[in-house]
Structure 1
């Protein structure tokens, strides 16, 4: 037998990797996937399961099998023409029988700008697309946007990871909301940087408390941790809360006073349920509307994505970030690191273009596009409201209605006996709850502890994407009733 030792084992790999945790695709998701395959293969295990299919309520992946959000017709038509450009040339007459005239025109324009979608592009992304992103931002905010300060990315996550890796050195701190999307804690763990939690106020619809934020900064200073960056997720994931203009101005002022770079995760900006009373404001618009000394100095990077909104094109991997007030020499380093990855997926870049520049009212495709996007938005809002209403009728659950995004974060008022049983199992109580929920109903949720929560509280995160909402609520309600009775 060879005495050779493997080069890679848990004691020889990068130790920071061991500290990375990502709850959204963790233990629960793996077990749910096991059930999905067992049911599909009709195994012996499947015969013993008390459900016939798994409800994937753990991740915001609208087009996933089982959630089945229908892709936008306009998107798929334009992209299909770019994938097979012969349809716009020798087979044009056939294409005209299938595709609206404006769709063909849009695809032709993109083909002239890009060429083959199988070729590398500029490391920042196709310039023509970045120009249209800049126009979108200008029309949204009322302030100029420079396409050279915009980077197209493989989804917002790639942009977030890139900027965090550039902004933070080992041991430096990044303020993150609690609860938060696990991407941030996972990336900070990998970078060996320090997550600095500030707690959102559940009793006030998950609003941000400025005093809590100041306290987090003060505690970091006392501990000797430099505060380098501040993450805001607006609308919130997992909370669904939308920030007020006043709260956003206070955040910008803090970043100015403490020389902190502001990272604005705005991927759910289209998913707003009550735009008249709680509209979305971008941090770019808030920043540029403040006094000149602040508007011209506070460093801001904002992120957007085609994975959310009404498109739900998660697997296409498209997004962008815009840099505001970032020093030229730092921008050179951002470009250098983007160049290492060559370029973001071209199909994802096309998706960004279609997101920021949809059909106009006079276009042949507009009526279908408007009907489809309105239906997606209306369904998301109605499902979210219905689920929150039912959660709040259940004994031992309280749930703030979402103002946006695509999730709910109900609180489970956990019986003491359940907490004690979870300790025996070596689990957090909400992890045990979510595992038992999956085993009993096939509903895959995410335990709140994966997002962070106030000590002594327990939550789960569920998406509002399940098409069979009544079935979901019925299964969940029966499980919760049985769980609470068991540990009463």
Structure 2
């Protein structure tokens, strides 16, 4: 009997789901990279410059020494007793590793933990949230996950019952959200960020989209807010956040706060405020609003993407619903222990007086100041190009420039049945080796075209990106000039 599994017979929700960050352009880039290795003279460039994904260490960012020392000691506790360890590792790394090992079942990172995560590590994270926000945090509200993505999937599983359930989601958005909504059978209800005012989230737009969804028979269950923004890089003002909290409370929506870039703020006039802090400062307690906050070890200044650590803080849900959230967590047994340890370290790094404090601060500030410089260099470069405008890079790890393509370029894209921004990004890759992700993979106002560029390539490579892009863009615009 012939195999029965074909594209026509697999789950249609899988076919519907898309993830542009690792989509067509990236697949082509990887192919080109193999061809360059085999035949370096085949292309006018010798290196692929990946600007497509927030994966800092793949692009040369160094890990934080204190974090890695603690992880090494926890993974191989036998070396704690060796004399050489005192010389190789800082005293506070050794002390932290011993403390963490005492909290792990069997003192082994290869053991399963409680499905929500190791209690002592959740205690550490809750204390750090409380110190950050100035309001109480409960370790029982913390669910440790393999990065923020599984936490997002868990909440979509919980909230979406059918295609008649909708999730308000920003456009542009990180495609994890559109993909997870599609996979779990719900409806994405878009709300558009205002590019003209720096990607501001207008509550009037939320109300408009909510009413339109209701008129189409959609029950909106939750609002996704990404702050700082991905792919747009804006940092929400506190007054704006208060209006968003008020909107969710009035409409009975779950507020899904993606706060994984909370350490990535590059302009002094903007500050990160967690939505939980904002809600509590408004006098709203647990019973007033359902709030889920996501954090990850993959971003910030740590960039530990491969360690897959993160958590969600779940507040405002009744005990009966919490039982089902715990059940979803327990289906996966637990998140990986190394990621759990790292999440606790990220939220509770060395403090003043600790042996590692000065070196930790130097490493952290060096990374963040470099990211700020890279963001400004790229922002300025984009704004000098004909037909391109780019909002200020306030935070996160990306820029999302708008490109006004000539009509001839749009027509050329249509002739090869390709979105115009994909057409541009494909040409850019083939001629320069630069990998941008087309804006159509994130969503955009119809008739506008963008691309997302990370600020993560090492500082010494930023000028090469600017030079290659500038030369290409001039050739492209001249070729398709109307």
What interval of TM-score do these two structures reach, taking the shorter chain for normalisation? over 0.9
Q: For the residues of structure 2 that align with 1:308 and 1:145, how far apart are their CA atoms?
A: 22
- Give the C-alpha shift of residue 174 in structure 1: 0.3
Query: TM-score by structure 2 length?
Result: 0.97
Q: For the residues of structure 2 that align with 1:290 and 1:364, how far apart are their CA atoms?
A: 39
Tell me what 2:51 maps to.
Answer: 57
| 1:78-137 alpha-carbon deviations (Å, 9 max, x no partner) | 111112111102x2x111111111111111111111111111111100000001110111
Bigger shift: residues 446-455 or 204-213: 204-213
Q: For the residues of structure 1 that align with 2:339 and 2:237, how far apart are their CA atoms?
A: 31
Structure 1: 5+ residue runs without aligned partners? none
Q: CA RMSD in A?
A: 1.0
Aligned match for 1:176, one of 169, 176, 183? 169
Does 2:236 correspond to 1:243? yes
Query: TM-score by structure 1 length?
Result: 0.96
Q: For the residues of structure 1 that align with 2:196 and 2:179, how far apart are their CA atoms?
A: 27
Does 2:458 correspond to 1:464? no
Tell me what 1:146 maps to.
Answer: 138
Tell me what 2:99 maps to.
Answer: 109
Contact kept? 1:289, 1:295, Cα under 8 Å? no
Residue-pair matches, total: 476
Does 2:128 correspond to 1:131? no
- Give the C-alpha shift of residue 394 in structure 1: 1.0
- Give the C-alpha shift of residue 363 in structure 1: 1.1
Tell me what 2:401 maps to.
Answer: 410
- Give the C-alpha shift of residue 37 in structure 1: 2.2
Aligned match for 2:368, one of 357, 377, 395? 377
| 1:181-206 alpha-carbon deviations (Å, 9 max, x no partner) | 00000011111100000000000001
Aligned match for 2:85, one of 87, 95, 110? 95
Q: How is 1:86-485 mapped onto 2 (pairs within 5 angstroms)?
A: 86-89=78-81, 91=82, 93-114=83-104, 115-171=107-163, 172-274=165-267, 276-292=268-284, 296-467=287-458, 468-485=461-478
Contact kept? 2:157, 2:184, Cα under 8 Å? yes
Contact kept? 2:286, 2:315, Cα under 8 Å? no
Contact kept? 2:290, 2:316, Cα under 8 Å? yes
Q: For the residues of structure 2 that align with 1:199 and 1:74, how far apart are their CA atoms?
A: 41
Tell me what 2:2 maps to.
Answer: 5
Contact kept? 1:287, 1:295, Cα under 8 Å? no
Q: For the residues of structure 1 that align with 2:184 and 2:108, how far apart are their CA atoms?
A: 36
Does 2:62 correspond to 1:70? yes
Structure 2: 5+ residue runs without aligned partners? none
- Give the C-alpha shift of residue 7 in structure 1: 2.9
Q: For the residues of structure 2 that align with 1:441 and 1:165, how far apart are their CA atoms?
A: 42
- Give the C-alpha shift of residue 353 in structure 1: 1.1
Q: For the residues of structure 1 that align with 2:34 and 2:62, how far apart are their CA atoms?
A: 23
Q: For the residues of structure 1 that align with 2:214 and 2:457, how far apart are their CA atoms?
A: 44
SS in 1 for 2:108: coil
